[in-house]
Structure 1
């Protein structure tokens, strides 16, 4: 009673305040913020028990309200869910070295939390959350110890991207003669756009998928990490209604010539931990390029001794002599590798006959060049046959294998990759996968995994009429998409004109060898072309490392231009390429990168920009101004003379 008036609503008000406080506490308990980077992921339950999440950075929406959940053969985890418990916030440190990467040594700290839900039947589902300065991630986990096999029929995971965002997405090609192989263009789209004019019929969008959101203030990359034999490689469904991109499994017909069954749904024994859904976030596109979040979340290296694993450059005969599999050609490329100081040479298809007749492997070994050999996927799918073949190759002196034509993201193929990398490591063999899916952090777990194709690379001057016109643009998109997922065998630097004539300048092509990250850089083009290069360009190829201690992003504009600083030991470079057909100004402050050097050499376009180079040497200055040639490039090499 107050002033003679009884306020009968007060108990109800107190109850409402209590309920609001309880709801707020639950909401807070189901969120996780990073101490660095201000990234946050928050889970929520609807009244009907449907699970959702959202992602923010400094309170700005990155991923709007998006669905989570799984439907299984025996349980439904898409509705009727209730909260069981929330773990305390944990701290996770990832400190490791990579044999192949933009940065050699990684040291990251993350916040972690696990949230347990139950469905109407009492079955449990755990969502593990991770936040760090480079983004957030989550994964599903079934803790049930029943040791039974469970099948996932659908995964409801979505990524709600604002409609005004800009996207760079690659179509996921349906199963075909050499698809899916992640060898399509990255198209500039808006959320909700349908797939238009892909290279091959397509059934979805690939990951990694890049978006610019918040009126251009943030960049986000959607990716996966830690995919192993427990799950297929996933892509995104073709339709993003309302801007929500949903997870899709590998298609049933992605078999190529492999002996796969008819079930394309994830199937595994309980308990079951699934791959990470990774959301990399940054203010600049360069933050995406330099992120290590995918390898941070992958299992740690399974190899105690990695001293035998050596990133290096390689010669490769196929691009210049696709029909010539003679011992003479293979031996000439061994000689080329020796003359340039390259560590490897790759003997492509047909090498077996040449080796039987002329002993090309022994000749390479005698000249100090480590041979790698091409192989067909079907010959390495059966575990026992694979192990025997690896032993045979190692005994011959082979140091690595390029295994081609997988054309599948099926779960059985993901499982094969893990055992293949392990079997190869036991014989001290390096691995290069072609005609394949993108890596998912595997080069941390298996450091002998040096590179993979899964890219629309140089070989498409043979195969794709649109490639010459779009190659420069693609070359400035791939470092922010495909190469973030893992090492990329782009097979760079080919000047000879092929079926579809090149439009990029010679320096642009040369610069791609230093823009892309790959544990083994397979240089295309002929022995004669390499030997005809100017002395200083040949010397650059000899000096150029195949991996880097440190990388910095100086200019990062996907589809337009990219400029990187690359360092390895005492070697220091700045390299850039223009993705447009217009001249573009370049203004750089060299002070930071020139320390300890007296001069810098610039390699740029010569008189005939398509085929020739110009080299100029200058004393160190604080600033450098240049004009990118259309579809051009440049390389700065800091030197002491």
Structure 2
């Protein structure tokens, strides 16, 4: 990875006896104030463009058995510095990232105990990051967190885009309401049937949390560099409009086992009066460490198809080879079992996908259900379910390896653990060696169901360390990881760029059963995607699943909105998720999926309002090609696409894929129009978007 500093750091140590200090962002629009008040309690507050957006908010911890690590402090010193660099990510929405901040490190000491605590604040032009640092000290070596008291005191009834705080899932639909309305809505929101749920005992919501004030200030709260720490949710004091940290505990109620010499994740606030700037922020990835992988040449963004959607459509395909439930991993001889005749991951069928991928310029084929163990439909809470090195009898690993290689196609491995993380760790080294031996360089991991070890949740400290261990081990074998049902991302893809995608939210698969609302994908970029890319699996053309059998589900989008998602739902790993036959029915619309890039030079947020609409343009990496995606909620609108991002003085051809005149998500969703026109940087396109609809544009240079 290239990295170059364009200015230098300046550090000055101030030993002070005052109770507070302030810090400004590089452009001066954000101002942080820090102070010690009352019984030695540390507080911070924040102003944006001379408006107070965060009132005095508490900092610190309570540790076990009942010791305050949040009071009786005095300030020992302040340390100020500035930093400015530009660096190049391995992949991303932009080929170059600016990292410019002013920093203040506060050194605190408790009067009675002598315990030390440092708080490091970094103020960017678009927000604030701060973390706790626990210095090595003779008075304190190990401690257990009982609570983190970090608060965000807004003092106003913000509009919020939220899902209920849950320690085991991020797959709830997003609710939009005022902070004061969350308590009366959260019980209904929690009723969503999901594979594993562990709701917070308090009134709390998940991060990333998107907020909007009545006077048009947008604030996003999340965390960055979540390492060796439980994930943070947010308790809601809806009377005083204060949010406070609620760390994910283990099942014993402990919220973190800490050794001094370590640090917390960064607590982050992205702030702007322009919603577009929330989406263009690099604050979270900039708070993560640079890549720990020196040679990243093997990490490649990819476009893929797969044996996947057919399992959800109700058309009859199954992950399991046999209907026999009496399976013993390591003991059952699958060659003696009667196949059910519906197993999707068979050699012949996978070859069809490989052929289609090769014919249409795709990079890879995902195959789910290839390995022994899928027969147990009550696999949750069981430890030894799957083998990750033994294939079903009808899946010929060697033959498919050779066939895919001959077609220059990769196969993406699938490791569903049903959340038996301990068993997965036992098999990890030999599983990755098996992948390496058979030409697999990417794996989709899954964690459906309650976690084993049974003392843990998906977002607890032990599991946070598990996901990192999997990614670090995969890097040793030059394997990329796409994790599903894992803790929500916090920018660690900068440090481990082989962590190429995550799900960790309500993706396309929910269209096949509980459904997604029309505004769902207009909110996710402001919430879930703030922490990192999502494997949303777009590209479903046949939205009426009743055509396959008993499934009565219908998609919440038009066909061309599915095309737009390739731009608006950023990921370097993009799936064309529908069945092959549906792409063959609509070859002209499928052309956009074939053409669209997965790695980018520059991204432009053209229009944005959370929950309502989004229009984004991106320039393909190292090509004179641009792609535009625009989506809306349940309301129709006219989008405005200002093409000033195109080079001046040159001509281009725009291919526009838009909703038909009478299209809507629930009526005529497959009605679309395709047109071509010559454009320049001086043009602004006005395009009507249907209810639940969207459009996509492919722009290429005219020689």
User: TM-score, structure 1 length as denominator?
Assistant: 0.88
Per-residue displacement from partner, 1:526-550 (whole Å, max 9, x unpaired)? 0111122233x33322221112211
Q: Is the 8 A contact 1:37 1:134 kept in 2?
A: no
- Answering whether residue 81 of structure 2 is matched by residue 95 of structure 1, we say no
**SS of the residue 1:303 aligns to:** coil
* Structure 1 residues 206 and 190: alpha-carbon distance in aligned structure 2, compared to 1, 3 A threshold: same
Match of 2:369 among 305, 329, 349: 349
Match of 1:292 among 279, 282, 293: 282
* Structure 1 residues 128 and 592: alpha-carbon distance in aligned structure 2, compared to 1, 3 A threshold: closer
Per-residue displacement from partner, 1:228-273 (whole Å, max 9, x unpaired)? 12x11111125544111111121434xxxxxxxx464211222221
Match of 1:505 among 539, 547, 558: 558
- Answering whether residue 103 of structure 2 is matched by residue 112 of structure 1, we say yes
Match of 1:389 among 406, 426, 431: 431
**SS of the residue 1:163 aligns to:** coil
Q: Is the 8 A contact 1:31 1:43 kept in 2?
A: yes
* Structure 1 residues 325 and 383: alpha-carbon distance in aligned structure 2, compared to 1, 3 A threshold: closer
Q: Is the 8 A contact 1:240 1:246 kept in 2?
A: no
- Aligned twin of 1:626: 687
- Aligned twin of 1:246: 244
- Answering whether residue 536 of structure 2 is matched by residue 516 of structure 1, we say no
1:464-475 alignment to 2 at 5 Å? 464-465=514-515, 467=516, 470=517, 472-475=518-521
- Answering whether residue 152 of structure 2 is matched by residue 162 of structure 1, we say no
- Aligned twin of 1:236: 234
Q: Is the 8 A contact 1:379 1:385 kept in 2?
A: no
- Aligned twin of 1:43: 34
- Answering whether residue 266 of structure 2 is matched by residue 212 of structure 1, we say no
**SS of the residue 2:608 aligns to:** strand
- Aligned twin of 1:461: 511
Unmatched runs of 5 consecutive residues or more in structure 1? 1-23, 175-179, 254-261
Q: Is the 8 A contact 1:236 1:245 kept in 2?
A: yes
C-alpha separation between the residues in 1 aligned to 2:236 and 2:428? 36
C-alpha separation between the residues in 2 aligned to 1:573 and 1:299? 30
* Structure 1 residues 81 and 553: alpha-carbon distance in aligned structure 2, compared to 1, 3 A threshold: same
C-alpha separation between the residues in 2 aligned to 1:566 and 1:166? 29
Q: Which moved more, 1:592-601 or 1:419-428?
A: 592-601
- Answering whether residue 530 of structure 2 is matched by residue 484 of structure 1, we say yes
Q: CA deviation at 1:152?
A: 1.2
State the 4+ residue runs in structure 1 displaced beyond 6 angstroms.
none
C-alpha separation between the residues in 2 aligned to 1:463 and 1:443? 31
Q: Is the 8 A contact 1:100 1:518 kept in 2?
A: no
Match of 2:593 among 536, 541, 547: 541
Q: CA deviation at 1:190?
A: 1.4
C-alpha separation between the residues in 2 aligned to 1:80 and 1:141? 17
* Structure 1 residues 284 and 37: alpha-carbon distance in aligned structure 2, compared to 1, 3 A threshold: farther
* Structure 1 residues 479 and 525: alpha-carbon distance in aligned structure 2, compared to 1, 3 A threshold: same
* Structure 1 residues 265 and 513: alpha-carbon distance in aligned structure 2, compared to 1, 3 A threshold: same
Q: CA deviation at 1:384?
A: 5.7
**SS of the residue 1:385 aligns to:** helix
* Structure 1 residues 131 and 301: alpha-carbon distance in aligned structure 2, compared to 1, 3 A threshold: same
Per-residue displacement from partner, 1:15-65 (whole Å, max 9, x unpaired)? xxxxxxxxx9936x5221112252122222222112221111122122222
Q: Is the 8 A contact 1:373 1:400 kept in 2?
A: yes
- Aligned twin of 1:611: 670
- Aligned twin of 2:51: 60
* Structure 1 residues 345 and 34: alpha-carbon distance in aligned structure 2, compared to 1, 3 A threshold: same
Q: Which moved more, 1:566-575 or 1:151-160?
A: 566-575
C-alpha separation between the residues in 2 aligned to 1:164 and 1:52? 21
**SS of the residue 2:562 aligns to:** helix
Match of 1:71 among 62, 86, 100: 62
C-alpha separation between the residues in 2 aligned to 1:594 and 1:372? 38
Match of 1:184 among 166, 172, 175: 172
Matched residue count: 595
**SS of the residue 1:593 aligns to:** coil
* Structure 1 residues 356 and 624: alpha-carbon distance in aligned structure 2, compared to 1, 3 A threshold: closer
Q: Is the 8 A contact 2:225 2:492 kept in 1?
A: yes
* Structure 1 residues 25 and 210: alpha-carbon distance in aligned structure 2, compared to 1, 3 A threshold: farther
- Aligned twin of 2:606: 554
Q: Is the 8 A contact 2:141 2:260 kept in 1?
A: yes
Q: CA deviation at 1:318?
A: 1.1
C-alpha separation between the residues in 1 aligned to 2:222 and 2:568? 21
Per-residue displacement from partner, 1:468-487 (whole Å, max 9, x unpaired)? xx1x2011111111111101
- Answering whether residue 119 of structure 2 is matched by residue 131 of structure 1, we say no
* Structure 1 residues 533 and 301: alpha-carbon distance in aligned structure 2, compared to 1, 3 A threshold: same
- Aligned twin of 1:313: 303
- Aligned twin of 1:150: 143
Per-residue displacement from partner, 1:102-152 (whole Å, max 9, x unpaired)? 222112111111111122311111111100111111111111334832211
Q: Which moved more, 1:356-365 or 1:61-70?
A: 356-365
Q: CA deviation at 1:462?
A: 2.0
* Structure 1 residues 382 and 506: alpha-carbon distance in aligned structure 2, compared to 1, 3 A threshold: closer
**SS of the residue 1:479 aligns to:** helix
**SS of the residue 2:310 aligns to:** coil
Q: CA deviation at 1:445?
A: 0.4
Q: CA deviation at 1:94?
A: 4.6
User: In angstroms, what is the RMSD of aligned CA positions?
Assistant: 2.2
Unmatched runs of 5 consecutive residues or more in structure 2? 1-15, 313-317, 319-343, 372-390, 452-457, 546-550
Between structures 1 and 2, the one with greater helix share: 1
Q: Which moved more, 1:421-430 or 1:313-322?
A: 313-322
Per-residue displacement from partner, 1:574-628 (whole Å, max 9, x unpaired)? 2201112x32122333344364333322111247641243111122262322221
Per-residue displacement from partner, 1:520-570 (whole Å, max 9, x unpaired)? 1122110111122233x3332222111221111111011111011111131
Q: Is the 8 A contact 2:60 2:148 kept in 1?
A: yes
- Aligned twin of 2:582: 529
**SS of the residue 1:504 aligns to:** coil
Q: CA deviation at 1:460?
A: 0.5
Match of 1:30 among 16, 21, 25: 21
**SS of the residue 1:475 aligns to:** helix
Match of 1:451 among 478, 485, 501: 501
